[in-house]
Structures are given as structure tokens and as C-alpha cells.
Amino acid sequence: MRFSLPLSILCSALAVAACEKKVAGPDHDQSGGVQGDPAPGNDPPPPAPGADDTILIGEVGSLTGSEASFGISTRNGIELAVNEANLAGGVKGKKLAVRVYDDQGKPEEAANAVTRLISQDKVKVILGEVASSNSLAMAPKAQAAQVPMITPSSTNPKVTEVGDYIFRVCFIDPFQGFVMAKFARENLKLNNVAILKDNKSDYSLGLSEVFNAKFAEMGGKIVSTEAYSKGDTDFRAQLTTIKGSKPEAIYVPGYYTDVGLIARQARELGIKAPLLGGDGWESEKLFELGGSALDGSYFSNHYSADDPNPKVQKFIADYEKAYGARPDSLAALGYDAAKVAIDAMQKATDLSGPAIKEVLAKTTGFEGVAGKITLDAQRNPVKPAIVLQIADGKFKYLTTVNP
């Protein structure tokens, strides 16, 4: 024991001295399993009932928990696309089946579910998740096992940065900030805009950051920037400060629960300027919370139900028939993600992960209900965003902003 202190000091000194920068190599980052043979356990599928004539697609979504409505919309959209494909004869003469696992909106459950889909159910493609943090929990697992994963609606840029097996069919956060900045500057011809951001959400921070930069770049001026925390109920202090700076519009890239209240309180304080926002606004609940206070406000979104495109109208009609509700963006994106996956499986030479990935990476001009999808080198789609206007308790299609 007497020597333990000097000994430990010596050891740590040795360790510090021996520290070196690792040589960049593929063996210690997360895409470790990329080269070499496919992950163990990816041999022929088990003799599950009917395994020979069905292709299994895996889906992870939050079917319970606080984000359940997102998960359920997405699942419905995916189900609709798969049913359509099965009616049209399936893929390569085989029927498709979806296996959905609930993750309760928790990343550790999402990682668990995706591991299960990959190693137990041996799915060919994985669809999900909505929340970016859950997708980030799933992506390294899919990447390591070389199973292509398509996220319908995770907008954080980091998700597809995980590796070349991770794709998405929605635009990313920075793009939405850019869209609103462009719209405010070019269509609304605004000069002075204030920002009210949600400090608690990565999404809101990302959008406001890009909006701030782009709007200033286009010659506009951000007159004040205030912040709140998701779940707050009183925004009067921030709004009063904003009112003092006399903006022509206020950019509030938050979720509908807060935006409704913010709009109400802004009107109470006598702020007449319209609010601008992002896709987090899209919910019927917005009108319950905000009432007429939101009339004349604008937000960017993935798709509009007013789109006259027959493909979109057919999707809306089918969805309403099947689920008795109007499809929201998440349903449309889920539908698109499944369609892209099915299309890739159809075109791929065989149903192995690398073969499907190759085809997915080449997706160009795919006609989705939420816009034309062309994937860039980072596996993010280049697609237009839609700006909706709120009037009389309705979302009204206003314009499409191209990248």
C-alpha cells in the first residue's frame, strides 16, 4: 500500500506521455462496420412463417408517449404506401409487410427497437424516426449493420451525416430558415423583423440562426432577438421588448403549443405585425390555442393539402378513406419515405443492403406527394418548401419557394 500513490502517479504520467493522436482510420469511428463483410447474423432470413414470399420493412416510431400523434400519422402514411404497392403486385413478385415497433419517444428504446429489427426480424429497409434525437440513436446501428434507413421527417442535418446508409425525404432545418428569410424579404418585402426563439429546442435554434444570417445577407435587419422555453405560458415580457423595436413581422420558429399562446398575447399587447414560422406550426390545435390571433401569419411547410397535383389529391382521398382524417405533413412524408424505399427495392439488383443503398443514393426527380425528391451527395433531398398563410382558421397555400 505504501507504494500505491507513487505508483499510480507514475502510471498516469506514463499514460499521459504515451497519449497520441489516433491515425484517422476506419476502425474506431462509428461507421466501423462498413468495410469488410456484412455484419454478423445477416445470413439468410430465418424460416419465419411466410418469410419466403414477403419482404419485411422495419419501422420505428413513437406510437405512445408525448409525440404519439407524429408517430401514428407517419405509420398511417407508410401503411398506405405499402398497401398500394401490394395491390400493384408487390416488389419482385413478393408481398411487402411492415413491422412497426413503438419507441415511446425515447432514444434508448429507439436504439433497442432498431437493433431488434435488424438482428431478429432481418428487415431489408428501416423507416423512421420523426424526432431527430431518436433517428440519431438509430442511425449508427443501421449504418453498422449496412441496412438502409430512411427517415421521413427528421430535419436535423446531423442525422444523415452518420453514414452513407442513412437517407431522408424531408428538407433540413437550415433550408427552412432560408425559405422564410427569402419569403419575408422577396415576397413580403420586409425590412425589419424580430425573432422569438425557443431555447429548449434544437430545431427552433437552428431555424432562427439560419433565418438571422440569411435575412441579414439579403439586406434585411433583425431588430431584436428574444427567447423563451418550450412549455412557458407567459410571453408578455419578451413580446413587450419586441414591440419596442417596432418590427414588421416576428419570426417564431416554435411548436404549435407555444405559438398559439404567443400569438394571442402579442395581439393583446397590440402588436399587429404578422408572425412567421416553420413546420412545427402545423396542427389543427393551433387554431384552438391561437384563435383568430394568427390570421395573416405565414409558415413554411413540407406539403399542402390544397396542392392541385392529382397525385396529391389522390393521396389525400385515399388517406381520408382509410383513416378518417386529413393527412398532415408527417403522413405525407411517411408515405413518400415508404414509396422511395419500395421504388429502390424494385430497381435494385437484389435485396441486399448495399444494393438498395446504391439505388437510393441515385434517387432523382422522384415524384412524392410532398414535392419532387432528388437526393444530393449528403443524402438530403433538394426540394422546394411551401409557404402557407393562415386565414379564417385555415391553412391556405400561398407560394412555393425553390432552393
Partner 1 sequence: MSKDALKGPLPVILALPVLALLQVTLQDHDFLIYLTSLVGVNVILAVSLNIVNGMTGQFSIGHAGFMAVGAYSGGKLSLEMKDYALSFLPHVVSDQISFMLAILVGGAAAALCGFIVGLPSLRLKGDYLAIVTLGFGEIIRVIVQNTEAFGRALGLSGIPQSSSLAMILFWVFLTLLVAKRIADSSHGRSLWAIREDEIAAEAMGVNTTGYKVRAFVISAFFAGVAGVLFAHFVPIINPGSFTFVKSMEVVVMIVAGGLGSTTGSVVAAVFLTLLPEGLRSAFSRLDDPSLAQKVDQIRMPIYGLLLVAIMLLRPQGIFGTHEIWDRWKKKPKGAT
Q: 346 in helix, strand or coil?
A: helix
Question: What Cα–Cα distance (Å) separates residue 292 from each residue in 97, 151, 264?
Answer: 44, 34, 8
Closest approach of partner 1 to the CB of residue 78, in Å: 12
* Residue with Cβ nearer partner 1 (99 or 347): 99
Closest approach of partner 1 to the CB of residue 242, in Å: 21
Nearest-angstrom CA–CA distance, 369 and 112: 31
| Short-list 250, 284, 255, 289, CA closest to 266 | 250
Residues in contact with 53: Cβ distance below 8 Å, sequence separation at least 6, in sequence order:
94, 95
Closest approach of partner 1 to the CB of residue 202, in Å: 4
Residue 158 · residue 215 · CB < 8 Å: no
Binding-site size, partner 1 (CB under 8 A):
48
Nearest-angstrom CA–CA distance, 239 and 242: 5
Residue 299 · residue 388 · CB < 8 Å: yes
Cell of residue 223, nine digits: 431588430
* Residue with Cβ nearer partner 1 (132 or 224): 132
Nearest-angstrom CA–CA distance, 330 and 302: 9
One of 1, 2, 5, 15 touching partner 1 (CB under 8 A): 15
Question: What Cα–Cα distance (Å) separates residue 31 from each residue in 59, 75, 258, 375?
Answer: 22, 28, 38, 21
Piece of the chain touching partner 1 by CB under 8 A; list 15-23, 268-276, 364-372, 383-391: 15-23
Residue 165 makes contact with partner 1 by CB under 8 A: no
* Residue with Cβ nearer partner 1 (94 or 116): 116
User: Strand pairing partners for 221?
Assistant: 192
Closest approach of partner 1 to the CB of residue 60, in Å: 12
Closest approach of partner 1 to the CB of residue 163, in Å: 12
Residue 8 makes contact with partner 1 by CB under 8 A: no
Residue 199 makes contact with partner 1 by CB under 8 A: yes
Buried b or exposed e, range 84-118, using 16+ CB within 10 angstroms: bbbeeebbeebebbbbbbbbbbbbebbbbbbebbb
Ranges within 96-155 binding partner 1 (CB under 8 A): 97, 99-102, 104-108, 111-112, 115-116, 118-120, 132-133, 136-141, 145
Ranges within 24-43 binding partner 1 (CB under 8 A): 27-28, 30, 39-41
Residue 200 makes contact with partner 1 by CB under 8 A: yes
Piece of the chain touching partner 1 by CB under 8 A; list 95-103, 273-281, 323-331, 364-372: 95-103
Evaluate the CA torsion angle 302, 167, 380, 154 in order and state its sign: positive
Residue 295 backbone dihedrals phi, psi, to 5 degrees: -55, 135
With cell 385555415, the residue in question is 394
User: Strand pairing partners for 390?
Assistant: 395
Nearest-angstrom CA–CA distance, 47 and 197: 52
* Residue with Cβ nearer partner 1 (201 or 292): 201
Piece of the chain touching partner 1 by CB under 8 A; list 14-22, 185-193, 273-281, 330-338: 14-22
One of 1, 18, 88, 377 touching partner 1 (CB under 8 A): 18
* Residue with Cβ nearer partner 1 (22 or 272): 22
Nearest-angstrom CA–CA distance, 249 and 141: 43
Contact pattern from residue 58 through residue 87 relative to partner 1, giving x for each residue in contact according to CB under 8 A and a dash for the rest: -----xx-----------------------
Ranges within 313-352 binding partner 1 (CB under 8 A): none
Nearest-angstrom CA–CA distance, 127 and 151: 6
Closest approach of partner 1 to the CB of residue 229, in Å: 8
| Short-list 84, 30, 82, CA closest to 59 | 82
Residue 51 makes contact with partner 1 by CB under 8 A: no
Residue type, 113: A
* Residue with Cβ nearer partner 1 (60 or 305): 60
One of 94, 158, 264, 347 touching partner 1 (CB under 8 A): 158
* Residue with Cβ nearer partner 1 (133 or 192): 133
* Residue with Cβ nearer partner 1 (21 or 272): 21
Binding site for partner 1 (CB under 8 A): 15, 18-22, 27-28, 30, 39-41, 49, 63-64, 97, 99-102, 104-108, 111-112, 115-116, 118-120, 132-133, 136-141, 145, 156, 158, 199-202, 205
